[in-house]
């Protein structure tokens, strides 16, 4: 019997689903080798179908996206029961991802911004999403919108993570192959190399031994050279802090790494590590000058914690009030 796989999405943009589709012709190999028993984006199975499966009957569930609503939490827990292996697929599942930046605000501010204050909103009755809604005698149940965004691993035990925003098809194919051949590493591992990206960056040789950055530039502010280390050009490339495995795809596209592959296993706080190492590269010993240089970095939280705020030791702007 072919091993059963499940794919599910939680708070995510859909990019990770694209990564599966991007397997292209390889997708057929995968489909030939496994049974996909659940994949809401592509196949018409329902939650009840999963509930009907015996516990532990799915070989592996690939769950992408962070956990923001009650429904996502329920589905994560359901798949955890049914699957022998749960893989956090992509940055949002692994560390909270871009949706996790919402943790800089509480639920009330978010709802107020979206349902009242945003310039394009017309909502004179002040309607807000509610878990129970009755109209014309029909009752509607909606998921509860939690106060915080959580990474998958903060809701259920996760066996493996595949990093990336989104992960590369190659990493997915490698993971499936390892699953099929029983060559997965120890549980808890991140299925990507444990070195930083500079290692596989095609520009690494042009990186000078000593960087002394006197101005950080945003990509639109400069004509980016295509063959020189981006950091050496003053572009905030997070490659030195970011796990390798993406084949330096942003750099190949002449854009600096924003860190979607997260930290290496040895680092506990991606943002703090990246921030402190970048700060140490400023080319000045004068405090005022250093501040001036660093002020060129827009939105420090969004820059350094773009993909990992919920998983960080300081996971947001205010204390986590019971997570809900």
Partner 1 sequence: MTKPSARIGVYICHCGTNIAGTINVAALREFAATLPGVIVARDYKYMCSDPGQELIKADIAQHGLERVVVAACSPHLHEHTFRTACEEAGLNPYLCHMVNIREHDSWVHSGEAATAKARDLLRAAVQRVAWNRPLERRSIPIRQSVLVVGGGIAGIHAALTLANAGKKVYLVEREPTIGGHMAMFDKTFPTLDCAACILTPKMTAVKDHPNITLWTYSEVIGVEGFVGDFKVRVRRKPRYVIEDLCVGCLECIEACVYKQPKFYDEFNQGLGKRKPIYIPFPQAVPQVVVIDPETCIEFKSGKCKKTCLEACGERQAIDFGQQETIETIEVGAIILATGYKAFDASRIPYYGYGVYPNVYTALEVERLINAAGPTGGELVLRDGRKPRSVGIVHCVGSRDEHTNRWCSRVCCMYSLKLAHLVKERTGAEVYNFYIDMRTPGKAFEEFYNRVAEEGVHFIRGKVADVYPAETDGRLILRAEDTLLGQVRKIPVDMVILATGLEPQADATEVRRLFNISCSSEGWFLERHPKLAPVNTFTDGIFLAGCCQGPKDIPDTVAQAGAAAAEAMQLLDTGSIELEPNTAYVLEEVCSGCKTCVGLCPYNAISFLPEKNVAQVNEALCKGCGTCVAACPSASIRQHLFEDEQIFEEVVGVLA
Instruction: Please give the residue ranges that form the binding site for partner 1 (CB under 8 A).
Output: 194-199, 204, 207-212, 239-241, 243-244, 263-264, 266-268, 273-274, 276-278, 280-281
Nearer to ligand SF4, 162 or 260 (CB): 260
Does 88 interact with ligand SF4 (rule: CB under 6 A)?
no
Nearer to partner 1, 78 or 213 (CB): 213
Going from the C-alpha of 244 to that of each of 178, 191, 261, the distances in angstroms are: 19, 11, 7
Q: In what order do the strands lie in the sheet containing 83-89?
A: 35-38, 4-9, 58-64, 83-89, 160-162
The least CB distance from residue 270 to ligand SF4, in Å, is: 11
The least CB distance from residue 312 to partner 1, in Å, is: 15
d(CA 244, CA 201): 9
Cβ(142)–Cβ(133) below 8 Å = yes
Does 201 interact with ligand SF4 (rule: CB under 6 A)?
yes
147 token code pair:
């106060």
d(CA 269, CA 219): 26
Does 198 interact with ligand SF4 (rule: CB under 6 A)?
yes
Nearer to partner 1, 72 or 161 (CB): 161
Q: Which partner, ligand SF4, partner 1, none, binds residue 100 by CB below 5 to 8 Å per kind? A: none
d(CA 310, CA 324): 13
| Site size toward ligand SF4, by CB under 6 A | 26
Going from the C-alpha of 122 to that of each of 42, 64, 107, 118, 119, the distances in angstroms are: 34, 32, 20, 9, 8
Q: DSSP labels for 218-231?
A: -GGGS---SSS-TG
Binding mask 7-46 for ligand SF4 (x = CB under 6 A): ----------------------------------------
Strands (E), 118-199: 132-135, 138-141, 145-150, 160-162
Stretch that binds ligand SF4, among 75-83, 119-127, 169-177, 193-201 (CB under 6 A): 193-201
Nearer to ligand SF4, 68 or 243 (CB): 243
* Sites of contact with ligand SF4 (CB under 6 A): 164-165, 196-198, 201, 203-204, 207, 229-231, 237, 239-240, 242, 246, 248-251, 257-261
């Amino acid at each position: 019997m072919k091993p059963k796989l499940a794919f599910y999405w939680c708070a995510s943009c859909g990019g990770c689903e694209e990564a599966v589709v991007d397997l292209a012709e390889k997708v057929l190999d995968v489909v030939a080798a496994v049974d996909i028993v659940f994949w809401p984006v592509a196949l018409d199975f329902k939650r009840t179908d999963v509930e009907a499966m015996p516990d532990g009957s799915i070989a592996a569930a690939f769950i992408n996206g962070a956990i923001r609503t009650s429904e996502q939490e329920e589905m994560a827990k359901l798949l955890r029961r049914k699957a022998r292996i749960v893989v956090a697929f992509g940055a949002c599942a692994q560390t909270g991802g871009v949706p996790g930046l919402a943790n800089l605000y509480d639920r009330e501010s978010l709802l107020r911004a979206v349902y009242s204050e945003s310039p394009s909103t017309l909502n004179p009755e002040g309607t807000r999403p509610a878990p129970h809604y009755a109209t014309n005698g029909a009752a509607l149940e909606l998921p509860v919108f939690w106060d915080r965004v959580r990474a998958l691993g903060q809701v259920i035990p996760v066996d493996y993570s595949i990093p990336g925003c989104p992960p590369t098809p190659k990493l997915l194919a490698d993971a499936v192959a390892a699953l099929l051949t029983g060559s997965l590493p120890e549980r808890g591992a991140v299925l990507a190399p444990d070195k930083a990206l500079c290692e596989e960056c095609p520009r690494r040789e042009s990186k000078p031994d000593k960087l002394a950055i006197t101005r950080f530039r945003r990509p639109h502010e400069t004509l980016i050279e295509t063959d020189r280390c981006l950091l050496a050009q003053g572009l905030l490339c997070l490659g030195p802090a970011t796990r390798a495995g993406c084949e330096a795809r942003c750099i190949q596209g002449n854009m600096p790494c924003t860190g979607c592959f997260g930290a290496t296993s040895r680092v506990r706080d991606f943002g703090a590590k990246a921030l402190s190492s970048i700060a140490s590269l400023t080319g000045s010993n004068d405090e005022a000058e250093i501040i001036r240089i660093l002020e060129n970095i827009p939105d420090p939280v969004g820059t350094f914690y773009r993909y990992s705020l919920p998983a960080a030791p300081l996971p947001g702007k205010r204390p986590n009030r019971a997570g809900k």
